[in-house]
Chain A
Amino acid sequence: MSSKINFGKWEAIYVLVLITCTQIFLNMPRLVVEYAATAGWLLVIYVSILCFIVLWVILKLYKDFEGMDLIDLAEYLAGRAGKIIVGIVLSLYMLFISFVILREFSENMKIIALPLSPISYTSIFFVIGMVVAAYFGLEAMVRINAIAMPIIIISYILILIGISDHFNVTKLAPYLGFGAYNLFVENIPRISLLSGIISIFYMAPFLKSYKVIKEVGYTGLLISAVMLTIASLSYLLIFTYPIATENFLPIYQLSRIFSYGRFFERFESIFLIVWAVSAFLYLSMISFFTIYYIKKAFDLEYYRPLIIPVAIIIFNLSLIPPNLMTAIELENNYFRSYSGIVSFVFPLLLLLACSIKRKLRSKRRRKEKHNEQA
């Protein structure tokens, strides 16, 4: 793995969309209903606008640090110590996401398709996928993601079209849910819903230029926002508020309604393949970045020896929550609520500090030059 890896604009956009939108298949449509009741879809739009502003600020600050990722920035700011601290924080954050999401996906698989199998059995498949993907590296992952994402998006949209005759607009009332204050003020921390967008900085060293990074960031955000809005909107259009908060596996419930004639009655199982593939892609991408950050923080030459140990740690951690509810609680109460801190506030502060240091440096240099000339 070297910085020689380069991938195109669209491949990077698909990675962004993947990291941001996989939550649709988990709890996200129900979560937004819990946060903002019938205004859940408005919440997504509002949060996306907030995210756009934050991203705009971050990208403005990032302009001078083209091609650096967060660890490089930390190194610039505080040398080796900073690098290690940031590396550890980021990789722990990724590790947390990986094991929680691994547990949830495995539980979902168990509930939908393999009710008689133990949870470790379903998760071992995902772990194998993670290991293989990490072994072949980011390039292969990104490539295969670029093929799979359009298929996932199209099949998802097909399902939504299939159930569209069940849509009922009156189910959206009251339109502002718990009220404007709740929607626009109390729910600001929900920007964490879009925390995946920050993964653009994980990929920064592999993208060609600042201009590409900017394009990827904005396009990725736009597509993700549209996808999330469609998901929450169609969910709310089908289920009324009380039922919508109770559904476990929201999108699966949606796909169960799908029927077309007598032959295509229970087609949600096909959706299972799409679902599993997106889980594979998401998990392998996140676990790869976990490994990549450890490698980068400690200046290791190879990342491959880390794959198996990290996979075993993720696998074991994922088995710690006693049941699915605990795992969901972990995701909702910690990851979806506070991930904004790691993914938005943290880079923002880092970038601010970096640009201050840069300015101070250039001032000092100018002074020195001035002195020399004098």
Chain B
Amino acid sequence: MSIKNTIKKLLFFQEPEKIENFVINESEDEQITDYNEDNKQDNKLQIDKQRNEQNSENKTDTENAGNDEENKNGIKILKSKKDREKGKKSDNSRAKDSQDDEDKGIQISNNLENSLEYIKKIYSVPVNSDIVIREFSIIVKEKVIDAFAVFIDGMTNTKIVIEAILKPLMLHSSLEIKSNDSNKSVEDYIKDHLLPQTQMKIVRTYDSVIDGVNIGECGIFVDGLNIAFLADVKGWEHRSVERPNTEIIIKGPQEGFTELLRVNTALIRKIIKNENLIVESISVGKSSKTPCSLLYIKNVANDSLVNEIRNRLKSINVEYILDTGELEQYIEDNTFINVPQIIDTERPDKVAMHLIEGRVAILMNGSPFALIMPANLPEFIKSPEDSYIRYPFANFLRIIRLLAIILNLLLPGLYIAIINYHQEMIPTDLMLAIEATSEKVPFPSIIELLILEVSFELIREAGIRVPSPIGPTLGIIGALILGQAAVAANIVSPILIIIVAITGIGSFAIPNFSLAFGVRIARFAYIFLGAVAGFLGIATGLFINGILLAAVKSFGVPFLTPITPKVSRAKLEYIFRSPIWKQEWRPDYLNVKKGRSQPNISRGWVEEKKNKGEEQE
């Protein structure tokens, strides 16, 4: 039956599914007028307007509720980031609004025994060795009440648990506490007088307690109360902020993301010191409930784009998700093409740069890589360093990188094509030299090339896995000795070693890892095409590759923008860099709310000097 179906599928036309492709709508309030006018419109006005809009949305749409609250969360975290230690502790955001949780799940029983039993059952307590359940007694209004705390050892900071939860409840509760209101309930009394922890929540269902405990909070149950207290005492082990491993630059900030979401969001807030930066929380994964943050600048990013990304994130229905690398595959437009459609980066400054341009970023807890979207081809050739170094240097680097891509993609293929089909192109002396060296090699040139390319890929893959002290040695052994020996043994000709070496170096000059990967794979297709039909094959490859690239879209933005389709403003700016004071417009294709990023004359002193010069005349 299945074979029949497969044949049927292959032979007969299947009606394609009707998919509405996402298009970035023009922002209604796009201001492409004058920069000064932009600024004249007081930020406050705009914020107020948007807040009103949000409020009205909140009234009608409960799903959108919490935007403001999340924002507050973000700000709160920023404040606490002043103290780094604290910042790390206040790591996770709420997976969902606690209010949302109120509706579902089993209500907490006011019988402590029941709660204890339930929690033990859920966490399989004797088996699960890192779940800590500490039973103790509290004295409230001269009554002794039983209570217990539950938390996961290793996820929490034990010191805080002792100092801020157990000590006050067990010891300080026996002290005489002065209170104005003697009729206070036990719940309020504990909350107001006995728990000095800064981030404290009261929840009503077991599910919310369990969600909290799973991300490193401490749940406190008290006999006679049908609520539980959740204290934020996170304190797991993590890497500190280090230099990014994959995107090293010479000039510019040297910080990289870590695995902690809140540290990462704080690193970005540290750069964009503006209240319009929104850090929206969305959790992905039914079981893992991995916290993600959607970042954008409220008065710049296009609303339809933000909505689309939010919808895609929310719609992901998967049990566990571990890294942004996985998330990328869930939200990208086209899976089968060999170019990335989302920029991934380890650098907070790169994310900030893109956010300012009007793009949207996603951060995920547990991943030191941020995702930036939409992406187009020129963005993959840029490195954050380009903005930090002077104009002529940056453009020189861009040309070098373009060259690297072209060499990496085409050089081996062109070599094979020329050697096999277009020998007349080679100047006579060079041809004689090539002929003399390849005379002794028994293989056809394509086999020679494949031997070398495959061994280069082997060295590369092995180089990642070998222990780091041996790494460079392996490179030397692999590249130098193997190459030398291969030539001496007449397996390959020396000119081929040069070709493969240049190709290999070229692939490391591409700033984006994913793009370099795509080019690396496409290279083999060009080798094959060059071998079967010479330049005609190469042209076929270029044409088909071009068609594929032109057909790809990343979140509504064609991949080859701004080369084609052309954009109206600042055409060259996206491929080459213009002087920094001339970068006046944000990318046109993003349909941002604020077109201008700086006025026509952003260097005030030039204006002043001009005026003075005119006065002197």
Contact = CB atoms under 8 A, between A and B. Distances in A.
Interface in A86-127: 109, 113-114, 117, 121-122, 125
A280 to B, nearest CB: 4
A114 B425 contact: no
Interface in A119-170: 121-122, 125, 128-129, 132-133, 136-137, 139-141, 143-144, 146-148
A317 interface: no
A318 to B, nearest CB: 16
B593 to A, nearest CB: 23
A273 B535 contact: yes
Interface stretch (B141-149, B467-475, B563-571, B599-607): B563-571
Contact of B551 (A140, A270, A272, A281): A140
The 10 closest A-B pairs by CB, nearest first: A276-B539, A143-B550, A140-B550, A140-B551, A144-B546, A280-B543, A269-B422, A146-B564, A136-B551, A305-B13
A125 B425 CA distance: 23
Contacts of A146: 564-566
7 contacts: A113-B534, A122-B533, A125-B536, A125-B540, A141-B547, A143-B560, A147-B560
User: What interface size band does chain B fall in?
Assistant: 20 to 34
Interface residues of A, number: 42
Nearest to A305: B13
Contacts of A304: 13, 16
Nearest to B422: A269
Contacts of A147: 546, 550, 560, 563-564
Contact of B543 (A114, A121, A144, A265): A144
Nearest to B563: A147
A143 B427 contact: no
Nearest to B12: A305
Contacts of B544: 128-129, 132
Given A266-B424, A277-B542, A140 B533 contact: no
Interface in A245-280: 262-263, 265-267, 269-270, 272-273, 275-277, 280
Contacts of B534: 113-114
A10 B563 CA distance: 12
A273 B424 CA distance: 15
A143 B560 CA distance: 8
Contacts of A189: none
A113 B563 CA distance: 31
Interface in B534-563: 534-540, 542-544, 546-551, 558, 560, 563
A349 B522 CA distance: 50
A192 to B, nearest CB: 28
B425 A143 contact: no
Nearest to B16: A302
Contacts of B13: 302, 304-305
Given A10-B566, A265-B427, A129 B536 contact: no
Given A8-B565, A273-B539, 11 more contacts: A7-B565, A10-B566, A128-B544, A129-B543, A144-B546, A144-B550, A147-B546, A272-B422, A275-B539, A276-B539, A302-B13
Contact of B540 (A129, A263, A272): A129
Nearest to B21: A4
A304 B12 CA distance: 12
Interface of A: 7-8, 10-11, 109, 113-114, 117, 121-122, 125, 128-129, 132-133, 136-137, 139-141, 143-144, 146-148, 262-263, 265-267, 269-270, 272-273, 275-277, 280-281, 302, 304-305
B35 interface: no
Could you tell me the dominant secondary structure of chain A's interface residues? helix
Contacts of B574: none
Interface of B: 13, 15-16, 418, 421-422, 424-425, 427, 533-540, 542-544, 546-551, 558, 560, 563-566
Nearest to A266: B424
A275 B544 CA distance: 15
A109 B551 contact: no
B427 A280 contact: no
* Of A267, A269, A304, most B-chain CB atoms within 10 Å: A269
Contacts of A305: 13
Nearest to B425: A269
B420 to A, nearest CB: 10
A11 B540 contact: no
B566 A281 contact: no
Nearest to B15: A302
Nearest to A277: B539
B404 to A, nearest CB: 19
Nearest to B558: A143
Contact of A109 (B425, B536, B564): B536
Contact of B550 (A128, A136, A275, A276): A136
A270 B548 CA distance: 23
Contacts of A132: 544, 547-548
B533 A125 contact: yes
A113 B536 contact: yes
Contacts of A128: 540, 544
Contacts of A8: 565-566
A324 B427 CA distance: 32
Contacts of A302: 13, 15-16
A265 B424 CA distance: 9
Contacts of A280: 539-540, 543
B536 A139 contact: no
A287 to B, nearest CB: 13
A281 B560 CA distance: 17
Given A147-B560, A277-B542, A113 B422 contact: yes
Nearest to B565: A8
B424 A269 contact: yes
